[in-house]
Chain A
């Protein structure tokens, strides 16, 4: 019981102070029939640190870590190198074990970090303001659709075919019960993003918002400005979704191309894969919409001595205060992951982020060229950042498993993301980051060649 400091002597003395003879008397409001007497079924007694470490390490060894193999998976979660100082700094107890900064005088560390994080995200996205993070990219996208509905007082969200299908699924879940209509369709294995079809759809409807992913689920990129113009002509907002923020070290920010709200996943910078969570949702918008933005916000102010300081602000929109009048579901945020993002971004700086982006793109371009030469394989998109789609001569799902047998995690099959869309079954999405070596390229090329036979 190494985490419980009370001794039996302490317990007796405290019971005496309270005026009861046994601790069970403190549970007397629990009806007799509801009490759980006796041990918890099957749960062993408390275990030593060594014992727990052994049990969990045994489970961990049954998994194949991305760092152990040639690894090319993306589609919303990316393997990047995280500098050692990031994890070291977030493990400082004053960051790791602090609460939400509701007492600003003794939480300036967290609050200044959040202010810096917001400033970094706003600049990266090309927006004026950003919040202190969301649960993840998918919930951020849903909240953005809700925000657009509040601003435009309309309830149709047109979602472009290139948006991550799991993000769309989250939007559909939430929409069912809030009166929002979601219009979306699955992509096809085309080189371009079919912007003309989207423009026509916008013109033919009265949407609250148009949602476009950049780069999209197949890795494609396109100019968002014409889509923004079309959305604005109908009084709708353009929501841009970015699942790979490193791309913005090289590519124009969505905010510069007319996006009104930019949301996405920050996992690539500082956070790590974590089997899908914890991640960190990013959320930015125009300053005029700040009071409709969900989530926490750190704001600058001064203290009684006139010194600059930071506080949580505009929280009257928030769930814990507003009861039934709250405008979003977010209650907590991803503070620690936002810290990791911010530290990694500070280490990179503009120069490092640009170099990292260029390196990612160059590596991806080099590999795409090689894989396009594998017999039977077609490179679907020629405009991409660090992720591209291949059409294989065989079904991609079994091909992925055959590559696993060769010790290569070769990509995400579109069949896994779109089980109900057989026409996508031969699609394989390959992500390439700075972590992939030339030897990894060789291994993937060989495994893919074999799997395509």
Chain B
């Protein structure tokens, strides 16, 4: 069956387009690519499967459950498939192509050794429910990584199963909730400073807590006095991001922890920015009770266009018995144990002096084994000296960017001392009508992925630049040159920035249209193209 019966081709040049006007829509090496639904059909396949044969008819009882109509899934042969995805890949920016200055998102070089290790059949081709005697190496790997996560953070236990940073936040809050309930203490409020990641209040609310904001000081830190004033018997936890989203270290962290503990609450630290302090500071020494570690950020696993991530949560001694299964904890002899349901009670009674009070499971199996392998390869590759150097170079690079640009871009906390892993700028001083978005799109034309925009919320028109430690000085100098140039255009009120980008595979895309009339699955289009969308307010936002 042909799926695209109309033969409608999206790549046909649109009359009056400002583009090059080639008949194919392609521009030399930049190739347009139709959807698989427009180029494939249901009778083409790129795999050779031995047909099951007539003697293998399904059981009679299944007949009413068998498919009677086509699904409508297009197939391509292998060469067509390779071209389709290779062409699409070329329409993406990626860290392999250049600097990715996304603040708080930490896009650093992805070592290919880690990919190779994660694909060893001994790790990639083992089943989560395989008998334990056949997966001893995998369990040892998890235990070894757990040991380093506990050691590098100065904590006591670690929940390995959370699948991503936000999932880790949820895990940490569930531990806190379980610990409070175990002592019969029903607290209702979680305090979240303004400078926290947006996921923090979302997670707290998702756990059923009421969220209250704590203001930031003019210097971009948590207002310690405001926080202390709000603490009380109804506060379950404080969620702090440290280093925070203004790119600054919270120097009062220990005082904050002490105050929260004195009030009977727990301290959750968002560890998304742990890469800036790994090997330099142990959050456990600052009084943190729970912290998720984005393995993909701190220990560099590829982001893959949106995931998978991995968010193990390190836990203090007070929270350790409450973590989800499977679960890893260090005993007094310094040995780290991996605990699953069956061994849980026996282990806990022996080592915690009572039954494990795990709050349950967060995911079907053991967590992101593929990410564990990559993270351990990264830790071993860097070693004790390299991990410290990672933090130092990340901080050095960020401060270099900050100081090199503060004469052309407003740096609201530039006077607050050094930044950590990321440099914060704002749109103050831009010409009439030019926004942070315009500057960002201008940077695309210069060959760079834009920085994080409009975040953190405490700064108007914020721009958060995180160069990471895997950029050379030459790469930074070229980026700084490009950003200076676009910043100067923004200050001069260069209105042509509003139509940037002009050199990208697509010009500004109409997001309003996409949200107003959502089209999220392919449908057979009308033959004359009458159902194609028309612009709403493209290019003027």
Contact = CB atoms under 8 A, between A and B. Distances in A.
A122 B523 CA distance: 11
Contacts of A176: 174, 359-360
Given A173-B362, A359-B49, A331 B539 contact: no
Of A173, A222, A401, the most chain B CB neighbours within 10 A belong to A173
Contacts of B440: 103
Contact of B124 (A4, A252, A274, A419): A274
Interface residues of A, number: 209
B51 A306 contact: no
A63 B125 CA distance: 9
Interface in A366-383: 366, 382-383
B478 interface: no
Nearest to B121: A65
A177 B174 contact: yes
Interface residues of B, number: 211
Given A63-B134, A301-B514, A346-B36, A332 B164 contact: yes
A53 B117 contact: yes
A29 B510 contact: no
A1 B389 contact: yes
Contacts of B82: 85, 88-89
B425 to A, nearest CB: 16
A128 interface: yes
Given A97-B110, A275-B365, A276-B366, A362 B53 contact: yes
A419 B341 contact: yes
B225 interface: no
B308 A278 contact: yes
B251 interface: yes
Interface string B467-483: 00111110100000000
B521 A130 contact: yes
B419 to A, nearest CB: 8
Given A61-B122, A62-B137, A322-B202, A96 B94 contact: yes
Given A103-B440, A107-B92, A116 B36 contact: yes
B369 A274 contact: yes
A35 B279 CA distance: 9
A428 to B, nearest CB: 12
A178 B206 contact: yes
A44 B384 contact: yes
Given A95-B92, A304-B539, A305-B18, A13 B364 contact: no
B338 interface: no
Contact of A43 (B58, B151, B253, B369): B151
B24 interface: no
B36 A350 contact: no
A441 to B, nearest CB: 14
A324 B368 contact: no
Given A26-B396, A290-B520, A347-B81, A277 B306 contact: no
A311 interface: yes
B163 A277 contact: yes
Given A52-B381, A250-B58, A326-B206, A223 B65 contact: yes
B129 A351 contact: no
A221 B122 contact: no
B385 A62 contact: no
A302 B538 contact: yes
Interface in A251-310: 251-253, 265, 272-280, 290, 296-310
A178 to B, nearest CB: 6
B211 A324 contact: yes
Interface string B301-318: 011111111100000000
Interface stretch (B346-354, B372-380, B428-436, B485-493): B372-380
Interface stretch (B226-234, B258-266, B281-289): B281-289
A28 B419 CA distance: 10
A66 B207 CA distance: 38
A112 B59 contact: no
B514 A299 contact: yes
Contacts of A452: none
Interface string A1-41: 11111110011011101111001011111110111100111
Given A89-B82, A273-B127, A275-B126, A103 B88 contact: no
A329 B533 contact: no
B202 A326 contact: yes
B530 to A, nearest CB: 15
A333 interface: yes
A297 B520 contact: yes
B381 A301 contact: no
B499 A304 contact: yes
B67 interface: yes
A434 interface: yes
A277 B506 CA distance: 34
B73 A64 contact: no
A44 B389 CA distance: 14
Contacts of B501: 105-106
A422 interface: no
Contacts, number: 731
A57 B376 CA distance: 12
Contacts of A421: none
B520 to A, nearest CB: 5
Interface string B448-482: 01100000000000000000011111010000000
B65 A276 contact: no
Interface string A124-142: 1000111111011111000
Interface stretch (A74-82, A198-206, A229-237): A74-82
Interface string B120-152: 111111111111011111101100100010011
A273 B128 contact: yes
Interface string B173-203: 0100100000000000000000001110111
A305 B307 contact: no
Contacts of A362: 52-53, 56
Interface string B368-404: 1111010011011111111111101101110110111
Interface stretch (A153-161, A164-172, A442-450): A164-172
Contacts of B504: 105-106
Given A40-B387, A299-B514, A6 B393 contact: yes
B28 interface: no
B369 A46 contact: no
Contacts of B222: none
Contacts of A62: 122, 136-137, 140
Given A95-B305, A319-B198, A351 B65 contact: no
Most A-side CB within 10 Å, residue of B41, B277, B304, B511: B304
Contact of A275 (B10, B123, B386, B449): B123
Contacts of A112: 33, 35, 88, 91
Contact of B514 (A107, A311, A331): A311
A69 to B, nearest CB: 8
Contacts of B92: 94-95, 98, 106-110
B214 interface: no
B73 A350 contact: yes
State the 7 A-B residue pairs at the shortest beta-carbon distance, nearest first: A349-B75, A276-B365, A60-B122, A336-B304, A335-B306, A62-B137, A93-B96
19 contacts: A4-B469, A6-B397, A11-B396, A18-B400, A31-B251, A51-B380, A91-B115, A94-B94, A105-B509, A112-B88, A113-B85, A135-B163, A173-B359, A275-B365, A305-B507, A319-B166, A337-B304, A346-B74, A363-B52
Given A5-B475, A221-B62, A329-B203, 10 more contacts: A63-B123, A64-B126, A85-B46, A120-B73, A131-B520, A164-B364, A337-B307, A350-B70, A358-B58, A404-B131
